[in-house]
């Protein structure tokens, strides 16, 4: 029935296609690290509340060669309907770990020699083109309004920013993710 399908999909103008799926079981972080290449590119998202931003970031990450995504406990689930839709299904093609503490997970990455780099628009030590993103690294992005939480920021090894003109002081988190991940893919010869 049309009202039932509209209720399930969340669309008033349901167009006749419906899929039911199961949220993939993520591997433990240690298993993910063992299975990765010598210099993995990872992404961590902290406190993102907009599911469309989460989905867009997952889609961008998949397109630009990210090996896995860590979603902190204050980040909206990448498996919400709107996030899945924005990702165009990419959430099912890349390992996504919804972790209990992002700072603890970043410490585990550091113990495996992975450089944790916070995308931070203010007081950054490095500009994006200055970074060497060819080694194992995890790019850390913060929430739309508050940025990276202090405990997560403290767990990062360094900060980096995107140079901006015309008095603009920040970008949408999805746009920032695209800029950082494209630069990483460019340096790694993937684009």
Q: What is the percent of the chain with per-residue pLDDT over 90, rounded to a whole number?
A: 65
Q: CB count, 10 Å around CB of 76?
A: 20
Residue 12, pLDDT > 80, answer: no
Residue 118, pLDDT > 80, answer: yes
Please say whether the beta carbons of 44 and 138 come within 8 A. Answer: yes
pLDDT in tens, 27-81: 889 888 888 878 999 999 999 999 999 999 999 999 999 999 999 999 999 999 8
Residue 13, pLDDT > 80, answer: no
Q: 183 lies in which domain range?
A: 49-121+128-187
In angstroms, the CA 185 to CA 176 distance is: 14
Whether the full predicted model's pTM is greater than 0.85, yes or no, is yes
Residue 110 within any structural domain of the chain = yes
In angstroms, the CA 42 to CA 140 distance is: 9
Residue 39 within any structural domain of the chain = no
Q: Which of 9-23, 70-84, 152-166, 167-181 has the lowest mean pLDDT?
A: 9-23
Residue 36 within any structural domain of the chain = no
CATH code of the domain containing 83: 3.40.1280.10
Q: Which two tokens stand for residue 132?
A: 């060497």
pLDDT in tens, 165-180: 898 888 899 999 999 9
Cα–Cα distances (Å) from 42 to 2, 32, 124, 170, in that order, read 41, 11, 20, 22
Closest CA to 144 of 168, 121, 162, 124: 121
Q: Degrees (nearest 5) of the Cα angle 165, 170, 171?
A: 100
User: Could you give the number of structural domains in the chain?
Assistant: 1
Q: Which of 2-6, 9-13, 53-57, 107-111 has the lowest mean pLDDT?
A: 9-13
Q: CB count, 10 Å around CB of 184?
A: 23
Q: How confident is the model at residue 124 (pLDDT cuts 50, 70, 90)?
A: low
Q: How confident is the model at residue 141 (pLDDT cuts 50, 70, 90)?
A: very high
Per-residue pLDDT averaged across 72-93, rounded?
Answer: 94
Cα–Cα distances (Å) from 74 to 49, 62, 111, 133, 153, in that order, read 8, 22, 24, 27, 14
Name residue 140's beta-bridge partners: 44, 118
Q: How confident is the model at residue 127 (pLDDT cuts 50, 70, 90)?
A: confident
In angstroms, the CA 135 to CA 119 distance is: 17
Residue 172 within any structural domain of the chain = yes
Closest CA to 187 of 117, 123, 120: 117
């Amino acid at each position: 029935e049309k009202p039932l399908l509209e209720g399930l999909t969340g669309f008033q103008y349901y167009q006749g296609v419906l899929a039911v799926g199961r949220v993939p079981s993520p591997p433990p972080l240690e298993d993910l690290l063992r299975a990765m290449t010598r210099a993995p590119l990872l992404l961590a998202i902290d406190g993102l509340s907009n599911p469309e931003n989460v989905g867009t970031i997952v889609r961008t990450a998949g397109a630009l060669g990210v090996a896995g995504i860590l979603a902190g406990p204050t980040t909206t689930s990448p498996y919400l309907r709107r996030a899945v839709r924005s990702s165009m299904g990419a959430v099912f093609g890349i390992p996504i770990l919804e972790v209990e503490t992002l700072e603890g997970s970043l410490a585990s990455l550091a113990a495996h020699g992975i450089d944790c780099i916070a995308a931070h628009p203010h007081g950054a030590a490095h500009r994006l083109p200055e970074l060497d993103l060819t080694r194992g690294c995890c790019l850390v992005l913060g929430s739309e309004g508050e940025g990276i939480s202090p405990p997560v920021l403290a767990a990062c090894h360094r900060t980096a920013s995107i140079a901006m003109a015309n008095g603009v002081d920040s970008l949408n988190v999805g746009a920032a993710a695209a800029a950082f991940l494209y630069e990483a893919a460019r340096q790694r010869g993937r684009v």
